[in-house]
């Protein structure tokens, strides 16, 4: 590329004059690499430039930018949506998921009714319970292993100056946050945790993707620009237009638009060392939530692990930081706090070591991000679907590697106890519907991956989202009660091949329940052991008595969780694709600590 062309490419200062919300008016005439699903920008005959063939390709860039009219900017074109493939809104593969769930739950009814099989119906329930507890033991081992890594890494010195970098690769970061109606103070708290990272001014570009319907978005953009513009290498705010083809409301579509826009702006900035074919710059894309606190040294720890891998390994690796829902968690009611503790435990116990899916905050190379077509704007759960899309892009299993740095996220919150309950249930419903839709997406892409990868992922996904989160707790109530009753109903008698009578069976079941509470104690213990490495020295200040109460209420909380999931699966089965949208949870009470005394909020 000649220097004359470089002089005509705008800098980031000139690009900042573009009204990002109106960037979809910019032409795509000189788009270098149009994506397969990107729709071309519509242009009328009156919009066609006169005499453009006689002009230099970049001759009028600065003029068109400064006038804020449609111009020709290399690599910058409005993302105009995608062509959604025809699909049935009701007959979808999530029906199979729902069928498997209810088939398993109802097994306590139909197994005792099958001759010969009912001879060992009690043993079947016992074996299933044993398998469940074995899986809990696996989760405990994994969670304690990651807890040890987090605590050990806290005293580890990161020496990026000693890494073997023969190619002279420059590490850069693009960190994206999406926001709709969340409080600005909450978003700024998250950005502060990014700005406090080492060398943020030299290597981090912060991207804030606002929805077009965000209240007072222009004023919020001005406040953010004024405060954070000087603290990052680049600071970009985008506005996601409503009604783009193929989009559904939610973080997926918002981040898809924001990330595409930000990457094109960076590529067009002559002062930013990112070119499409420049191998000397590695841009790592990190997505986060607006209610998060990034762990201390998150990006340095990420870079250190990056250099431990070969170039080939980096091409299919996604980095995930263990996530703890500990922002004002001690002020939450028991069902919110217990759910937050369990989610953090399951992330370290299953999601990361089993490569099931990423969650909320994760990182990957720009190359893998682009090969996977950014995020899918037609689905609501960007984190659950992400690993599948990127595995499809590289035609092999993508690997989740843990960054040994604790990151905080906010739990659901409400103004009072009833509001807390509603938000908690609404969030679970959204997670469940999102998981059902991701299962549909995976099923239709099943044969595009190696068979062993597809079968392994399907087994782990169904186990975690179907069996563990949706079935297990309800089954442990239904099976011990219904199975003996059904055996009596068919005149078989409550006995099995090994278990002699109902009394012995109930003793075994109560023994399993007691064992379950030992596993619940470990969940609370893991949270306590990880607190010393939480960012900003955050502590869960829940008292001893409330901790005991929450421990006792863990099993009822899981039962309620399962019931909400079962209803959500039925809802997506009946209503189909129309229920799939990302309704943001309320975050108002995460801005500042909730007062310790509130007449309308029960301290449980």
Confidence at residue 203, expressed as pLDDT on a 0 to 100 scale: 94
User: What does the pLDDT look like over 268-313, one tens digit per residue?
Assistant: 888 888 875 556 889 999 999 888 999 989 999 999 999 999 999 9
Q: Tell me if residue 505 falls in helix, strand or coil.
A: helix
Confidence at residue 348, expressed as pLDDT on a 0 to 100 scale: 96
Stretch 327-343: mean pLDDT, rounded?
91
CA distance 43 to 245: 17
The tally of CA atoms less than 13 A away on the side-chain side of residue 558 is: 23
Residue 224: name the closest of 179, 269, 254 by CA. 179
Q: Tell me if residue 1 falls in helix, strand or coil.
A: coil
Largest CA distance in the chain: 93
Q: Tell me if residue 348 falls in helix, strand or coil.
A: helix
CA distance 509 to 507: 5
Confidence at residue 1, expressed as pLDDT on a 0 to 100 scale: 41
User: What does the pLDDT look like over 121-154, one tens digit per residue?
Assistant: 999 999 999 999 999 999 999 999 999 999 999 9
Which of 334-338, 373-377, 451-455, 502-506 has the lowest average pLDDT? 373-377
CB environment 399-431: b (16+ within 10 A), e (fewer): ebbbbbbbbbbbbbbbeeeebbbebbbbbbbbb
Phi and psi at residue 329, to the nearest 5°? -65, -30
pLDDT reading at 338 higher than 50: yes
Confidence at residue 146, expressed as pLDDT on a 0 to 100 scale: 96
Stretch 222-243: mean pLDDT, rounded?
93
Q: Concatenated DSSP letters for 119-175?
A: GGHHHHHHHHHHHHHHHHHHHHHHHHHHHHHHHHHTTPPP-GGGS--TT-PEEEEEE
Domains and CATH numbers, the chain: 168-425 (3.90.550.10)
The tally of CA atoms less than 13 A away on the side-chain side of residue 228 is: 27
pLDDT reading at 535 higher than 50: yes
CA distance 588 to 291: 10
User: What does the pLDDT look like over 68-124, one tens digit per residue?
Assistant: 323 333 334 567 666 666 665 667 788 888 899 889 888 989 999 998 888 989 999
Question: Cβ distance 188 to 224 under 8 Å?
Answer: yes
Confidence at residue 71, expressed as pLDDT on a 0 to 100 scale: 31
Radius of gyration of the chain (CA): 26
Say which residues have a Cβ less than 8 Å from residue 145's Cβ, sequence separation at least 6: none
pLDDT reading at 567 higher than 70: yes
pTM of the predicted protein model: 0.81
pLDDT tier, 14 (very low <50, low <70, confident <90, very high otherwise): very low
pLDDT tier, 441 (very low <50, low <70, confident <90, very high otherwise): confident
Confidence at residue 596, expressed as pLDDT on a 0 to 100 scale: 42
CA dihedral 93, 97, 103, 104 (to 10 degrees): 160
Characterize the bridge pairing of strands 317-320 and 204-211: unpaired
Confidence at residue 277, expressed as pLDDT on a 0 to 100 scale: 56
CA distance 508 to 376: 47
Instruction: Report the chain's mean pLDDT, rounded to a whole number.
Output: 81
């Amino acid at each position: 590329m000649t220097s004359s062309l470089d002089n005509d490419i705008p800098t980031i200062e000139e690009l900042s004059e573009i009204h990002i919300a109106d960037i979809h008016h910019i032409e795509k005439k000189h788009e270098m690499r149009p994506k397969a699903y990107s729709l071309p920008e519509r242009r009328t005959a009156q919009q066609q430039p006169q005499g453009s063939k006689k002009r230099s390709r970049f001759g009028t860039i600065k003029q068109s930018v400064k006038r804020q009219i449609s111009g020709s900017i290399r690599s910058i074109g409005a993302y105009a949506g995608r062509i959604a493939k025809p699909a049935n809104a009701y007959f979808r593969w999530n029906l199979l998921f729902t069928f498997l769930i209810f088939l398993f739950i109802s097994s306590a009814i139909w197994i005792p009714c099958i001759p010969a099989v009912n001879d060992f119906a009690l043993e079947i329930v016992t074996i299933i319970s044993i398998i469940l507890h074995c899986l809990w033991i696996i989760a405990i081992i994994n969670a304690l292993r990651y807890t040890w890594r987090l605590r050990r890494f806290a005293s580890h010195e990161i020496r990026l100056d000693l890494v073997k970098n023969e190619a002279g690769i420059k590490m850069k970061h693009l960190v994206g946050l999406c926001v709709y109606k969340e409080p600005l103070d909450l978003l700024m708290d998250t950005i502060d945790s990014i700005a406090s990272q080492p060398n943020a001014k030299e290597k981090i570009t912060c991207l804030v993707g606002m929805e077009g319907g965000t209240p007072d978005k222009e004023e919020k953009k001005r406040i953010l620009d004024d405060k954070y513009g000087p603290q990052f290498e680049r600071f970009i705010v985008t506005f996601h237009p409503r009604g783009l083809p193929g989009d559904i409301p939610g973080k997926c579509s918002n981040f898809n638009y924001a990330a595409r826009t930000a990457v094109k702006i960076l590529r067009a900035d002559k002062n930013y060392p990112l070119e499409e074919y420049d191998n000397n710059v590695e841009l790592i894309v990190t997505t986060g939530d607006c209610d998060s606190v990034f762990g201390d040294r998150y990006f340095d720890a990420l870079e250190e692990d990056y250099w431990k891998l070969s170039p080939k390994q980096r091409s299919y690796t996604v980095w995930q930081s263990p996530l703890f829902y500990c922002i004002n968690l001690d002020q939450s009611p028991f069902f919110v706090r217990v759910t937050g503790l369990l989610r953090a435990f399951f992330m370290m116990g299953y999601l990361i070591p089993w490569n099931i899916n990423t969650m909320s905050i994760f990182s990957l190379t720009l190359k893998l991000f682009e090969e996977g077509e950014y995020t899918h704007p037609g689905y609501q759960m960007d984190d659950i679907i992400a690993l599948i899309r990127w595995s499809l892009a590289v035609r092999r299993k993508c690997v989740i590697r843990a960054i040994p740095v604790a990151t905080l996220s906010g739990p659901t919150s409400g103004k009072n106890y009833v509001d807390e309950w509603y938000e908690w249930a609404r969030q679970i419903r959204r997670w469940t519907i999102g998981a059902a839709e991701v299962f549909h997406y995976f099923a239709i892409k099943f044969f595009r991956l190696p068979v062993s990868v597809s079968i392994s992922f399907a087994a782990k996904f169904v186990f975690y989202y179907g069996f563990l989160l949706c079935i297990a707790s309800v089954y442990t109530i239904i099976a011990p009660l219904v199975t003996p009753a059904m055996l009596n109903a068919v005149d078989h008698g409550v006995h099995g091949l090994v278990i002699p009578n109902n009394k012995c069976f109930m003793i075994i079941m109560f023994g399993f329940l007691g064992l379950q509470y030992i596993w619940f104690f470990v969940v609370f213990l893991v949270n306590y052991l990880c607190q010393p490495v939480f960012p900003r020295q955050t502590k869960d200040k829940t008292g001893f008595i409330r901790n005991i109460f929450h421990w006792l209420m863990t099993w009822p909380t899981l039962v309620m969780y399962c019931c909400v999931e079962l209803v959500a699966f039925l809802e997506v089965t009946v209503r189909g694709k129309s229920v799939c949208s990302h309704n943001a949870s309320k975050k108002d009470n995460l801005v500042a600590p909730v007062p310790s005394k509130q007449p309308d909020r029960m301290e449980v």
